[in-house]
């Protein structure tokens, strides 16, 4: 690792609701935060068409617009926002080292991790082309727009079962596409799915194509045993095959679960490394909402401020 070129009091890795909220609080506390946005400034919300469940926006707002407003508010308090990606970390000493874009090393008294998580996709061209135009990876975020309509959802785990039952309360019918002849979800979640009359399960099936030109008009599924293809008219297509937390660079440094979600001290943003804090979807595999991410961003900044204050007292003693 090359020599550090700059030292900062507070370094925020990643943008999105958690990162920008952390920046607002840290900047107001005179921590002079420097934020590196990552390759997708604004995070997952930048691929979300409409956000109607964030308090303070009674008429709704597009995800990109909301993130632009978060950014402006962070900049108003003089957050130094830079485009770049953290590619390596070194948390061995009391001063933390973070490499940006594999070349620039920043040292920091505190580091707030807000790297988020990325939805797993099927990898279909039509899925990506119609993303935000009927294709979604968040039923809780976007299900409302399909009230009274027919939708399809892919997945077989607890998240898929939860999202299918959630959509079933809003939609006339939910087609659940399951690749095997059984679900991976817990028995209690499976029972909920089986007891919901407007969920139709397509066993041993995979998505062949999402149909539609400017919006989702249907889905073509393929039976993995017979090869038979069936077209189902739907207006919404949801993918619930899991998320991947963007935490690979912290492997070996911070505790994480088997999937890669960072572990923190319950009720706080504290990790096992003093001065390193985590917020947002990098640690949250349960809620994954903009408003909860923002709340943990606030917590991380307050925890970082408290850590720095305690450190100053120690140095004075």
Q: Looking at residue 1, what is its pLDDT?
A: 46
Question: Exactly one of 109, 142, 281, 284 is catalytic; which is it?
Answer: 142
Look up 30 and say whether it is catalytic: no
Q: Looking at residue 176, what is its pLDDT?
A: 98
Which pLDDT tens digit goes with each residue over 10-27? 999 999 999 999 999 999
Look up 138 and say whether it is catalytic: yes
The two three-digit tokens of residue 112, written as one number: 């707030």
Fold of 121-239: FAD/NAD(P)-binding domain (3.50.50)
What is the CB-side half-sphere exposure of residue 299 using CA atoms within 13 A?
21
The two three-digit tokens of residue 49, written as one number: 């068409």
CATH architecture of 6-118+243-316: 3-Layer(bba) Sandwich (3.50)
Q: Is 78 left (phi over 0), alpha (psi -120 to 50) or beta?
A: left
Query: Residue ranges of the chain with pLDDT lower than 70?
Result: 1-4, 49
The rounded distance, in Å, linking the Cα atoms of 182 and 10 is 48
Count the Cβ atoms, other than its own, within 10 Å of residue 120: 14
Distance of CA 58 to the CA centre of its chain: 23
Q: What is the DSSP letter of 167?
A: H
Domain ranges of the chain: 6-118+243-316, 121-239
Question: Exactly one of 80, 90, 138, 158 is catalytic; which is it?
Answer: 138
6-118+243-316 with 121-239: one CATH topology? yes
Look up 298 and say whether it is catalytic: no
Q: Looking at residue 317, what is its pLDDT?
A: 73
Question: Exactly one of 30, 80, 101, 141 is catalytic; which is it?
Answer: 141
- Indicate the pTM of the whole model: 0.83
């Amino acid at each position: 690792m090359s020599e550090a070129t700059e030292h900062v009091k507070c370094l925020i890795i990643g943008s999105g609701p958690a990162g920008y909220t952390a920046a607002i609080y840290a900047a107001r506390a005179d921590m002079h935060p420097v934020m590196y946005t990552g390759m997708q400034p604004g995070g997952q919300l930048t691929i979300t068409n409409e956000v109607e469940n964030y308090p303070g926006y009674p008429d709704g707002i597009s995800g990109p617009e909301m993130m632009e407003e978060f950014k402006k508010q962070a900049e108003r308090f003089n957050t130094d926002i830079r485009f770049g990606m953290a590619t390596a970390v070194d948390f061995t000493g009391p001063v933390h080292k973070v490499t940006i874009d594999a070349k620039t090393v920043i040292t920091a008294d505190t580091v707030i991790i807000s790297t988020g998580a990325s939805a797993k996709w099927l990898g279909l061209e039509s899925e990506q082309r119609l993303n935000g135009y009927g294709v979604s990876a968040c039923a809780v975020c976007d299900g409302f727009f399909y009230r009274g309509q027919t939708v399809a959802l892919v997945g077989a785990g607890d998240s898929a079962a939860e999202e299918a039952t959630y959509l079933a309360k809003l939609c006339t019918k939910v087609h659940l596409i399951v690749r095997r002849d059984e679900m991976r979800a817990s028995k209690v979640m499976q029972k909920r799915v089986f007891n919901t009359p407007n969920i139709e399960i397509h066993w041993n099936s995979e998505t062949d194509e999402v149909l539609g030109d400017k919006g989702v008009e249907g889905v073509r599924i393929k039976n993995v045993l017979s090869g038979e293809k069936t077209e189902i008219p739907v207006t919404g297509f949801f993918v619930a095959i899991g998320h991947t937390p963007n935490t690979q660079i912290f492997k070996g440094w911070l505790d994480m679960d088997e999937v890669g979600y960072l572990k923190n001290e319950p009720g706080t943003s504290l990790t096992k490394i003093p001065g390193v804090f985590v917020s947002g979807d990098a640690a949250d595999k349960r809620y994954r909402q903009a408003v909860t991410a923002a709340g943990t961003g606030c917590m991380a900044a307050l925890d970082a401020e408290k850590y720095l204050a305690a450190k100053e007292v120690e140095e004075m003693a």
